[in-house]
Amino acid sequence: MTSERLLRIAVPNKGALAEPAAAMLRAAGYRQRTDSKDLTLIDNDHSVEFYYLRPRDIAVYIGRGHLDLGITGRDMLLDSEADATEIMQLGFGGSRFRFAARGGSGMSVADLNGKRIATSYPGLLQTYLNEQGVSAELVKLDGAVESAIRLGVADVVADVVDTGTTLRRAGLELFGDAICSSEAVLIQRNGGSDLPPQAEALRTRLTSVLVAQNYLMMDYNVEQVNLDTTTALAPGVEGPTVSNLAKTGWCAVRVLVPRTGAHLLMDQLYAAGARGILLTELAACRL
């Protein structure tokens, strides 16, 4: 690809988003670093340069216009209050930002007035408290926020919850609605319109990875007399590819099927006469 300049993309260098972000970019056909100490990597074939940065800092670089696109968490983008916006949901790194207090304390958001709330996301939390008309003292911590109550530095925590294991281990219980539902997102500067053409190519390729996650490739053999029944069960997108088998009266069918319900479909196809049914993962898929 020829272009006047490299597209500059920020990718999380560590934490929960780093590995899945690199894996998604690899699945989309981009080169990624093999040494986790590398700070940057140029993919010359696609005229893209990747910068490996702390996920918390990525919105800052994008908002100030020093990098073109970035992958970070929605919660981190909102917390940063950077001049940046999400342009695509990436389907990994899902979490919720929640309040928690000592088990059995029966807290509610209305009880937060005057309380000390420990968090690593003061921007996100303060915005929410303002909306709720609550006045509380924020205790800003870098991580392991769940220990703040036991150690007496806070009455309540507001933190990222995925499985809830960390909270349970700390003897805490959730209260109130989720302050934010987060996942990894692709971000750009607000109103940013001077992106090189590789930006659109990246979005198309990432979309093809997401689409591929929703489908599987199915192959099966079936007798000609049963073909109408099996193709009605699995009609595919444009229609199945049907080829002749060497065995007279039989054909081979290849068809894209939704991942959800694929095993139920296998049962139905088998009952309808399909044999040798194969399900295969897709790396990428542009429909």
Ligand X SMILES: Nc1ncnc2c1ncn2[C@@H]1O[C@H](COP(=O)(O)OP(=O)(O)OP(=O)(O)O)[C@@H](O)[C@H]1O
Cα–Cα distance list, 61 to 80, 174, 187 (Å): 11, 33, 11
Distance (Å, whole) CA 230 – CA 47 = 45
Is residue 177 at the binding interface for ligand X, with CB under 6 A as the rule?
A: no
Is residue 95 at the binding interface for ligand X, with CB under 6 A as the rule?
A: yes
In eight-state DSSP terms, residue 126 is H
Residues in 121-150 at the binding interface with ligand PRP, rule: CB under 6 A: 143-146
Closest-approach residue to ligand PRP (CB): 143
Phi and psi torsions of 281, nearest 5°: -70, 150
Smallest distance, ligand X to C-beta of residue 38, A? 17
- Pick from ligand X, ligand PRP, none: which does 205 bind, CB < 5 to 8 A by kind? none
Is residue 46 at the binding interface for ligand X, with CB under 6 A as the rule?
A: no
- Angle, helices 18-27/198-214, rounded to nearest 10 degrees: 100
Select 71 or 251, whichever has its Cβ closest to ligand X: 71
Is residue 160 at the binding interface for ligand X, with CB under 6 A as the rule?
A: yes
Select 43 or 75, whichever has its Cβ closest to ligand X: 75
Query: For residue 106, what are its two tokens?
Result: 């029966």
Is residue 14 at the binding interface for ligand X, with CB under 6 A as the rule?
A: yes
C-beta of residue 201 within 8 angstroms of C-beta of residue 48: no
Is residue 258 at the binding interface for ligand X, with CB under 6 A as the rule?
A: no
Distance (Å, whole) CA 152 – CA 158 = 15
Residue selected from 24, 59, 76, 118 as contacting ligand X according to rule CB under 6 A: 76
Distance (Å, whole) CA 59 – CA 76 = 8
Is residue 27 at the binding interface for ligand X, with CB under 6 A as the rule?
A: no
Distance (Å, whole) CA 232 – CA 236 = 9
Is residue 193 at the binding interface for ligand PRP, with CB under 6 A as the rule?
A: no
Other beta carbons within 10 angstroms of residue 29's beta carbon come to 16
For ligand PRP, the binding residues (CB under 6 A) are: 15-16, 143-146, 159-166
For binding to ligand X (CB under 6 A), which residues are involved?
14-17, 55-56, 73, 75-76, 93, 95, 143, 160, 162, 182
